[in-house]
Amino acid sequence: MRYFSTQRPLGPGCFPKVQGNEVMEIENYDRKTFREEIGREAWGSIVYRHPLAEIDAAIYELTPEKFVTKCNKM
């Protein structure tokens, strides 16, 4: 599950370390970047093997990825 850091770049102490939920990937952007997946700017993203508890995401101000679907108007 991917989460976006909208308040700061990801570094030590900026994301939860949850036993049994491995961090798969961390990516910091060169600058705050608009991400369509959340509809706002973010400093970076982090991917966990499993979704975080809502309280853990909230404490670290992480925004979960929302799945964007595109449809064409006819």
Per-residue pLDDT of 43-63, as tens digits, reads 999 999 999 999 999 999 999
Which residues of the chain are modeled with pLDDT < 50?
Answer: 74
Beta strand segments in 1-74, E: 2-5, 23-35, 40-48, 62-64
Residue 22 has which token pair? Answer: 């491995």
pTM beyond cutoff 0.85 = yes
